[in-house]
Amino acid sequence: MARKAPARATNQFEASAAPEDLSPANRIASEIVTERSDLLPSIEHIMNAGLDDETAANALELFRTSLTAPGDPHRDPRVAISAATGKPSSGE
């Protein structure tokens, strides 16, 4: 019997809600994914890291800024999360 693939977590930013109805972190995530859908795995990594909204928004802003700054270490979502939380990156 074929196994069913595990359900993918749906983040609020992936819903079709109006931008003004989204939290700051979800609004930033939506903006980034709208411009660059190839970054969805990185955005999901940040959004599913168990951060409060303010910390997630901070990590997302660091990540977004890094996209236009070659060599910026915050391009790695783990580094952006680490910087936003003030905790060292686990490097996973």
pLDDT in tens, 9-66: 466 666 666 777 889 999 999 999 999 999 999 999 999 999 999 999 999 999 999 9
In a domain, 16, yes or no: no
Q: How are the residues of the chain apportioned to helix, strand and coil, as percentages rounded to the nearest 5?
A: 60, 0, 40
In a domain, 4, yes or no: no
What is the structure's pLDDT at 7?
A: 47
Q: Which domain holds residue 58?
A: 23-85
Total number of domains constituting the chain: 1
In a domain, 91, yes or no: no
In a domain, 92, yes or no: no
Residue 5 — φ and ψ, nearest 5°?
A: -65, 145
In a domain, 6, yes or no: no
Distance CA 19, CA 7 (A): 25
In a domain, 40, yes or no: yes
In a domain, 17, yes or no: no
Predicted TM-score (pTM) of this structure = 0.81
What is the structure's pLDDT at 19?
A: 73
Q: Which range, of 6-10, 26-30, 76-80, averages the lowest pLDDT? A: 6-10
What is the structure's pLDDT at 14?
A: 63
